[in-house]
Amino acid sequence: MGWIVFGLVAWFVGWQINVRLARRPKTRVTRLAVPVIFGITLVLIWESLVRGFDISPVLLPPPSMIAERFAASTGLLWTDFVQTVIKGALSGYAIGCGAAVLIAVAIDRFPFLQRGLLPVGNFVAALPIIGMAPIMVMWFGFDWQSKAAVVVVMVFFPMLVNTVQGLQSTGAMQRDLMRTYAAGYWQTLFKLRLPAAMPFMFNGLKIASTLALIGAIVAEFFGSPVKGMGFRISTSVGQLALDLVWAEIVVAAIAGSAFYGGVALLEKALTFWHPSQRG
Amino acid sequence: MMRSLLPILTVVVAIFAFWYLGAIWLNSDWAYDKAGRLDKELSFAEMVADTWSQDKPKLPAPHQVATEIWDTTIDKRITSKRSLVYHSWITLSSTLLGFVLGTGLGIALAIGIVYNRTMDMSVMPWVIASQTIPILALAPMIIVVLNAIGISGLLPKAIISMYLSFFPVVVGMVKGLRSPDQMQLDQMRTWNASPTQTFWRLRLPSSMPYLFTSLKVGVAASLVGAIVGELPTGAVAGLGARLLAGSYYGQTIQIWSALIMAAVLAALLVATIGAVQRATLKRMGLS
> Residue range B119-139: average pLDDT?
74
Write the DSSP string, A176-204.
Answer: HHHHHTT--HHHHIIIIIHHHHHHHHHHH
Count other C-beta atoms under 10 Å from residue A64's C-beta.
Answer: 13
Do B95 and B221 share a structural domain?
yes
- A35-70 tens-digit pLDDT: 888 888 888 888 888 888 877 777 788 888 888 888
> What confidence score (pLDDT) does residue B234 get?
55
Whether chain B has a CB inside 8 Å of the CB on A222: the answer is yes
Give the chain B residue nearest A250 (alpha carbons).
Answer: B133
- Give A181 to chain B, closest Cα distance, Å: 33
Do B128 and B238 share a structural domain?
yes
Using CB atoms, which residue from B11, B252, B262 is nearest to A138?
B252
Within the 151-190 window of chain A, which residues sit less than 8 Å (CB to CB) from chain B?
none
> Residue range A75-80: average pLDDT?
88
Instruction: Tell me how far apart the alpha carbons of residues A257 and A35 are, in angstroms, rounded to a whole number.
Output: 15
Do B141 and B27 share a structural domain?
no
Do B172 and B250 share a structural domain?
yes
- Amino acid in the structure at residue A48: S
| Three-class SS state of A91 | helix
The answer to whether the CB atoms of A115 and B243 lie below 8 A apart is no
Instruction: Tell me how far apart the alpha carbons of residues B257 and B273 are, in angstroms, rounded to a whole number.
Output: 24
Domain for residue B263, yes or no?
Answer: yes
CATH code of the domain occupying A70-278: 1.10.3720.10
The answer to whether the CB atoms of B126 and A35 lie below 8 A apart is yes
Whole-angstrom CA distances from A107 to A1, A114, A266 are: 66, 6, 26
- B59-91 tens-digit pLDDT: 888 888 888 888 777 777 666 677 778 888 888
- Give B154 to chain A, closest Cα distance, Å: 19
Interface test with B, best of A155, A218, A242 (most B CBs within 10 A): A218
pLDDT band at A279 (very low <50, low <70, confident <90, very high): low
Using CB atoms, which residue from B133, B145, B243 is nearest to A59?
B145
> What confidence score (pLDDT) does residue A102 get?
92
> Residue range A199-203: average pLDDT?
87
> What confidence score (pLDDT) does residue A142 get?
83
Q: Which of B43, B59, B75 lies at the terminal end of a domain, its last residue? A: B59
The gap from C-alpha B273 to its chain's centroid, in whole angstroms, comes to 13
Task: Locate the domains of chain A by residue range.
Answer: 2-55, 70-278
> What confidence score (pLDDT) does residue A96 get?
93
Domain for residue B280, yes or no?
Answer: yes
Share the mean pLDDT of chain A.
84
| Cβ proximity of B265 and B222 under 8 Å | no
- Give A129 to chain B, closest Cα distance, Å: 8
Residue B47 has pLDDT above 80, yes or no: no
Name the residue range of residue B45's domain: 2-59
Domain for residue B232, yes or no?
Answer: yes
| Three-class SS state of B54 | coil
Using CB atoms, which residue from B123, B133, B217 is nearest to A38?
B123
Per-residue burial over A23-50, b if 16 or more Cβ lie within 10 Å, else e, is: eeeeeeebeebbbebbeebbebbbbbbb
State if pTM tops 0.95. Answer: no
Instruction: Tell me how far apart the alpha carbons of residues B253 and B268 are, in angstroms, rounded to a whole number.
Output: 22
Count other C-beta atoms under 10 Å from residue A147's C-beta.
Answer: 32
Whether chain B has a CB inside 8 Å of the CB on A12: the answer is no
Do B258 and B157 share a structural domain?
yes
Do B47 and B92 share a structural domain?
no
Using CB atoms, which residue from A123, A221, A252 is nearest to B231?
A221
Angle (nearest 5°) at CA B189 between B183 and B193: 130
> What confidence score (pLDDT) does residue A99 get?
94
- Chain A residues whose CB is inside 8 A of the B270 CB are 126
Do B92 and B33 share a structural domain?
no
Domain for residue B70, yes or no?
Answer: no
> What confidence score (pLDDT) does residue B248 get?
77
- Chain B residues whose CB is inside 8 A of the A230 CB are 137
Share the mean pLDDT of chain B.
82
> What confidence score (pLDDT) does residue B78 get?
67
Do B106 and B37 share a structural domain?
no
Domain for residue B37, yes or no?
Answer: yes
> Residue range A215-233: average pLDDT?
82
E strands, chain B, are none
Do B116 and B223 share a structural domain?
yes
In chain B, how many domains are there?
2
Interface test with B, best of A15, A135, A235 (most B CBs within 10 A): A135
Domain for residue B78, yes or no?
Answer: no
Whether chain B has a CB inside 8 Å of the CB on A140: the answer is no
Using CB atoms, which residue from A60, A127, A137 is nearest to B266?
A127
Instruction: Tell me how far apart the alpha carbons of residues A154 and A211 are, in angstroms, rounded to a whole number.
Output: 7
- A89-104 tens-digit pLDDT: 899 999 999 999 998 8
> What confidence score (pLDDT) does residue B101 get?
93
Write the DSSP string, B148-192.
Answer: HTT--THHHHHHHHHHHHHHHHHHHHHHHHT-S-HHHHHHHHHTT
- Amino acid in the structure at residue B210: Y
> Residue range A113-123: average pLDDT?
78
Angle (nearest 5°) at CA A172 between A168 and A178: 95
CATH classification of the domain holding B91:
1.10.3720.10
The answer to whether the CB atoms of A230 and B137 lie below 8 A apart is yes
Domain for residue B68, yes or no?
Answer: no
Q: Which residue has the higher pLDDT, A241 or B42?
A: A241
Domain for residue B16, yes or no?
Answer: yes
